[in-house]
Amino acid sequence: MELVMDRLSKQFQNKIAVDRVSLRLAPGVTGLLGANGAGKTTLMRLICGILKPTAGSVAFDGQDVGTEEYRAALGYLPQDFGYYPDFSGLDFLLYMSALKGLDRRQARRRSLQLLDTVGLSDVYRRKVKTYSGGMRQRLGIAQALLNDPKLLILDEPTSGLDPRERVRFRELIARLGKDSVVLLSTHIVSDVEHIADRVLIMKAGQIVHDGAWDRHEDLERFYLAQFGEEEDHG
Amino acid sequence: MGNFGTLYKFELKKLLQRKMVWIALVLLAAAAILPPASSVIGKMYISSEVTGLENQVYTHYELVQRRRADPAHLEGRKLDTDLIQEAIGAVGVISQSTTEAVVGDDNAVATFTVRQADPDKMGWTLDGYTIQGEYWDIWDTVESMVGQDAMTDSLTAEDYYAAVDADRAAGYNVWGLTAGERAWWAEQAKKIETPLPVTGYPNGGWTAMAETAYVANLFIFLFAIIALAGLFPMERQRRTDALIQCARNGGAPLYAAKLLAGLTVSFCGGVIILGSMATACLILLGPEDAATAVQQLMNPAWGTPMTVMQLALILCGAYLAASLIHAVFVMAVGLCTKGGMAAMAVCFGVMMLFLIVYSLPRDWRVVSQLWSLLPAVFGNNSIVFDDRLVHLGGYLTSWQAAPLLWLVLLAALAALGLALHRRVADK
């Protein structure tokens, strides 16, 4: 089980958002750090097939990003997670299940199970527009897990969650990383510090650091040093 | 496609949860009642100064009901020399009469004068004063073919039917029909019974329905624009497009579910809008004119043997089919513009274009004929009687050919929509 990116690039008019990124990601949690505009979200959207690369390729277990098999293995939580305000929490998950190709019985069982996992089981009949920001984020995480994905792309999954929920979700993501390839992007360095087996740091569309993380080291200091370097050069 | 039913159900739910859809439907269904209702809104009054009687005020609804209840003197008659002469004589009585009553009408621009006529000859009257004689429609139909100067006591049925034939032939020249088409129409015209059987109450609900169905067609188009312009762009506005694009069924299956949901809403909207118009027509004006020939009232020279009820039903059926084309067109524009408001603006502009340019010069035979068959133009009063035929093995009339063209349009627009949906997904 491996996600392979080969010289993946994306250019928007004069701006190169992702610049010849080549990576191989094995099962486990990979943290993706970078300043705003570094290209993290663009890279994730390329991996999810939402954006077409200017050059390069993405494949998971030999399946190209455009194939149905690839999509069947994919779970994605976008940074700006959209929802249908008049759907109930359960309706939203049932709809997403249908989009992901789950059959009706399986969809209901899995939806209820995930609503319980993300702590929304007592409000699943309420309309999503009545949910708080944190509850919506939890619903977003639930939809990403509906198809039991082997490739999970999470863009800022813990933003909007309270500290207690964040810890709970870090544990959940760490568990998922045992059997799946999880790529986690966040601004919160401590999230990555706690759960990532491997850390990627992006700057100006390129991967400037790629390595396993020794949890005894201070990632935040290391991360800031990466960007301080640029300021020194500048 | 195992999830198609679920996707369809949720797409339908998304559409029906929007308040704007319901508000538009209620308003348009109510507006569709207005054309038939306008016939019974208002009052008519006869001043006492002239008649010497008390002021008489009647609602139009009351007048219509009186007319419906009045014995149909002409029922079972035929448009022959006797009837033509009776009509000429009856209308003549009006002009020869000396007693005048000032009749005011809320719906008229100005007060007008109607002369007293012989109640026995004029059929239904209002307390001795003729408001509208039952011969009037016959007189008007005959006069439209032969001209007012010919409306004399020497006019015969043969003169009238000769004038109808001449008018029909002149129409064929105007339409630029081929020899084959003329021959086909000549065969059709033989099926029209001569002398034409007439009905006693010709101007009722079915006639009103045939005359106003086109307005309902525009309302259905407007409803499709309001309800469906945002169906595809809404995903982008709500930022759910990313979830859809990376989902397994986010491509063709979702497109098909959205398309079917849009078609369902548009069709049901069409049923409600047309239904309210038809119900109002039949309740307010009555269904008694069902068997009236189109030639008695609407177009004496039309070459097709058809009653006004048949014509009304054909138009209603055609407009229900057109609701599907409107829907698929609006959805394709939504995919093209990627914005609900932009799609609405473009579609509204197209609707206005069809309203203004409802026909093209007949010299451009193919283009103007195709134009006249487009759903937003079809049935626009003069176009419903388009005599140009479509040659597909045999000859097809405009209302027979239009659904075939619409089927092709539906398939082409649906395919275009799918390509646009995929293009958005592959951006």
Nearest to A58 by CA among A75, A40, A70, A69: A70
Give the count of domains, chain B: 2
Nearest residue to B330 (alpha-carbon basis) of B221, B219, B216: B221
Q: Are residues B73 and B175 in the same domain?
A: yes
pLDDT for B314 equals 93
Chain A, chain B: beta-carbon pairs less than 8 Å apart: 87
pLDDT given for residue A149 in this prediction: 94
Q: Name the minimum distance, in Å, from the CA of A177 to any CA of chain B.
A: 20
Same domain, B65 and B126: yes
Least confident of A121-130, B97-106, B162-171, B200-209: B97-106
B280 and B160 in a common domain:
no
Q: Which of B181, B214, B246 is the last residue of a domain?
A: B181
User: Which residues of chain B have a Cβ shorter than 8 Å from any chain A Cβ?
Assistant: 2-3, 6-7, 10, 13-14, 17, 235, 238-250, 254, 426-427
| Residue B107, domain member (yes or no) | yes
Same domain for B204 and B160, yes or no, is no
A7 has a pLDDT exceeding 90 = yes
Contacts of B246 in chain A (CB under 8 A): 48-50, 71, 74, 76
A85 versus B87: the higher-pLDDT residue is: A85
State whether A91 and B10 contact (CB < 8 Å): yes
Q: What is the mean pLDDT of chain A?
A: 88
Q: What angle do CA B89, B94, B96 make, to 5 degrees?
A: 85
Residue B397 is assigned to a structural domain of this protein:
yes
Distance of residue A83 Cα from the nearest chain B Cα, in angstroms = 6
| pLDDT value of residue B222 | 97
pLDDT at B107: 53
Domain end position, chosen among B154, B181, B208? B181
Question: Which residue type does B293 have?
Answer: A
Q: Residues B59, B97: one domain? A: yes
Predicted-complex ipTM score: 0.87
H helices present in chain A, as ranges: 40-47, 68-73, 89-100, 104-117, 133-145, 163-176, 189-195, 219-233
pLDDT in tens, B259-279: 999 999 999 999 999 999 999
Q: In CATH, what is the architecture of A3-84+152-233?
A: 3-Layer(aba) Sandwich (3.40)
Same domain, B51 and B172: yes
Q: What is the pLDDT of residue B44?
A: 67
Q: Residue B414: is its pLDDT beyond 70?
A: yes
Tell me what pLDDT residue B65 has.
Answer: 77
The reported pTM is 0.86
The predicted pLDDT at position B221 comes to 97
Co-location of B99 and B213 in the same domain: no
Mark whether B148 and B210 lie in a shared domain: no
**CA distances in angstroms from B198 to A130, B90, B147, B282, B311, listed in the order given:** 65, 17, 20, 20, 16
Does A72 touch chain B if contact means CB atoms closer than 8 Å? Answer: yes
B92 lies in the same domain as B18: no
β-pairing, A198-203 vs A181-185, is: unpaired
Given a cut of 70, whether residue A232 has pLDDT beyond it is no
Lowest mean pLDDT across A79-83, A186-190, B36-40, B108-112: B108-112
The answer to whether the Cβ–Cβ distance between B246 and A86 falls below 8 Å is: no
Would you place residue A81 in the very low, low, confident or very high pLDDT band (cuts 50, 70, 90)? Answer: confident
In a shared domain, residues B79 and B35:
no
Nearest-CB residue to B6 (from A50, A98, A147): A98
Query: What pLDDT was estimated at residue B117?
Result: 40
Q: What is the pLDDT of residue B137?
A: 78
Residues B239 and B354 in one domain: yes
Structural domain contains residue B189: no
Residue numbers of the domain that contains B166: 43-181
Domain boundary at B119, B152, B181, which? Answer: B181
Q: How far apart are CA B245 and CA B361, in angstroms?
A: 46
Each domain of chain A, given as residue ranges in start order, spans 3-84+152-233
The pLDDT of residue B124 is above 50: no
B39 confidence band (pLDDT: 50, 70, 90): confident
Between A128-142, B36-50, B100-114, B238-252, the lowest mean confidence (pLDDT) is in B100-114
Report which listed range, A59-68, A138-147, B117-126, B261-270, is most confident.
B261-270
Cα–Cα nearest to A44, from A82, A17, A69? A17
Does B8 lie in the same domain as B105?
A: no
